[in-house]
Structure formats: structure tokens, C-alpha cells
Structure 1
Amino acid sequence: MYVDASEACNDLRFVLGNQGVGTGLANRQWSVKVTQYSCDFKNLAPEGCTQYFFGSTTDVIQTYNFGNGRHLAEQNQNICIRRERGNCKICYTAIDVIDVSVNGLEEVGLIFMDTKCCGYTPVGLPEMGFDCIVIPGLRKSVAPSTLVGDSVCGNGAGLVSVDANAADMTKTLCTKRQPFNVRFRSDSFETEAELGILGFRLVYSQNSNGC
């Protein structure tokens, strides 16, 4: 995790729960490795990035705690990806359909785009579960390269664009919007804990098609 540092003092504060399961409190502890980079470091992460990927046109990105039962609450995780030389487009796909599992929709196997993600209804309730993935300028990877929006939510159907014709759904979405970044947002209403909502794991690949 990248954190903007102060030239003075930087504090790490951990808040421990005061309740445990069973007869006692869990023994909580951390082992943290800290590395500081100078302001003129050539691969310094851009401001506001919590993760930074560079040096390769393809890699795997994921939410914190992916694969350990559920994603974390109250997240604003900003995964930044450096545009490598000669490339203008980046595409994302899920390794497995269950690797996009970001909110507690009652029906597994549904992915929604834009209108039902990242927000609340007028009465203050999540439309389809607030938690979502935000990737600006997403388009289908196959012709016609239709714009599908900026946000994705749901679970159990990979990374797809919703269409009435199931044969027209694609499991790879692309964008030319720069700088390349993927943001994960979650609130504190973690009903997902009961549903095993994992978060997401995506493979990205940069290319020069259409540059």
C-alpha cells in the first residue's frame, strides 16, 4: 500500500476490537515493512494511489483480503497502472467468474453497470449494494466497441457488460481513458460477510490497438 508521507512524523494507528468469539479476545498482531521513497524517485506512485503497477503490460490486480472470505469495509482503494510505452488501451478480464464478487446481491450471477452501482436510493439504502468497481470509460472489447459505463457491481458472473442478448455479453472490457486506474469503493454495510463476497481479482493487459 502506498501512503503519502510527511517530512515530519508519520503515525500508524491500529484500532483493536474489544469483543471476541468464544471465551476470550483474539490475539491480534501485525508485522509491517515500511519503505520510504524520495520525492524524485523515478517510479514514484502518483498522488492518491494506494497501489501502483509498472514495468509490465500485463499483471493481476485485486482487492485487499481477496481470497480470505470477504472484502474489507470502508474502502477507497485506488489501483494505478502506468501506461507503458506505445500503448493507449488497457483491457480487464476475470480469471474466473467468481473473481468479480463485490456486493451482496441476492441472486448470484448478475453484474450491473453504472446506474445501480456506487450509490444509494432516495431513502438512503444501497440500490444493489453500494460496493463497486470504478474503471472510467469502459467499452466492450468486441465490435462494436460500445461504451458500457464507468462502474461495475454484482457478483458471480465475471466482468461482463449486461445485454438483453446473452450471446452479446463479453467477459473482457477495455478503456482508453488515461491515466489507467481501477478504484474499489465499499461502505460499512457488510451484509457481504454472510454471503462470502470476496472482492475482485482481474487480469489487465495493455495494447496499442486503435492508437
Structure 2
Amino acid sequence: MVRRLEPIHLKSLRDHVHDTLREAIISGRFRTDEKLNERQLAAELGISTTPLKEALRQLETEGLVRTEARRGSYVTFNARQAEEMMLARAALESVMAQQAARHATDAQIALMKTHIEQMRAALQEADIARLIELNEYFHDTIHDASSCEYLRRLQNGQRMYDHAARVTVLADETERVRSFAEHEAIMLAIAERNEDEAERLMREHVMLAGEKHLITVFSYTPAEKRK
């Protein structure tokens, strides 16, 4: 269920275990209320239970896991939390896109255009891993161009959710094509210094991807869609 850890890849062992479990929870490989078998997880990861327990404590402070005395740890991440993350990301990313349209340098816009051309090639080759990587580079370039240091710090707390959502969404060919078209439109709005359009397009892009993730992982339709 989770990928075995290799020593060459380790940051601190606890942090790596934490990141691995966090991604597995957010991407739906562990379901809401599922009990996490510590001995089994430790064996799958190739570690002792000590760093695993430390990682679970950290996940508990983040609201993703609850630990009950003499009963063990259970996943608490659910569709409502995922929806909140989607809404938070849409708010942050849209403001940064708007600010990027105002503040981006010519070099940063050129870099965004390069990312788009590289995404086009990855899309044509159906290289999903490369497309996910370029997707993250593209958004990072917009964050840099926005000069919004405070918002970037807030956004960094969501990176694991963002990555999990991208993996889910970009696994689907139709979604890959749609996502690429949205990225290209965002880049053009920023290049044209159209702040309102960049903000609107980014908000819609994040919301559509987040809704796809919610439906795929939780079979959950966001409240706005139910109205």
C-alpha cells in the first residue's frame, strides 16, 4: 500500500515517513476511519515502529489521524477537509496569479512559456510523471513572479495536498488535455498583464482540479455543485 523507503532518499527518517503517509492519506490510499496497523506499516516501509509513531503524532497534530489509547491510530482525513483545502488553495493561487500578472518580469514570463511548451511535449508523449513535475514548476514560477512571500508560506503548507490532487487528476487523459489548456490560458493572461483574467482563470483551474480529486477519491460532490 505504501512505498518502501530507501536510505539514499531519506531526509530525516521521521519526516520522510510523515510525508509518505501524509500523501497516502490525502490521495485516498487510506480511507476515512481506517485503522493504521503500525507493525504492518513499519514492515512495508522497512523501518522500526519508533519513527512511525513519531510521524503518526505529527499527522495527528495536522488533523489527519487520531490516536486512541490501547486501540491504535485511525485516519480522520475526510472529504470535507479536502474541500476546505481546495477552497484555500483556490484563494491563495488566484491572488498570486493576479499579482504575477502585475509583477512578473519578462524573464519569468519567458520561463512560464517554456514550461508550457515542455508540458505540450509531455502531454503528446503521455509522460504523466514529467507532466506532473512541469505542472508544479509552472505554479512555482507564478508564485515566484507574484512576490507574495506571505502567501507563498501559506501555500507551502498545502504542497502535499496539491501534489496528491495532481496525481489523481492527471491520471485521466481528458483531464490532462483540459488542464494543459487551462495552464496555457493562465500563462497568456499573465503575459498580457490581465490581472482580473489571470485571477479568474487560476481560481477556476484550481476548483475544477480539486472537484475532480474529491469525486475520484471520496465520491463527494462539493456543496457549491449540489445547489
In the superposition, the TM-score normalised over structure 2's length comes to 0.28
In the superposition, the TM-score normalised over structure 1's length comes to 0.30
More strand by share: 1
More helix by share: 2
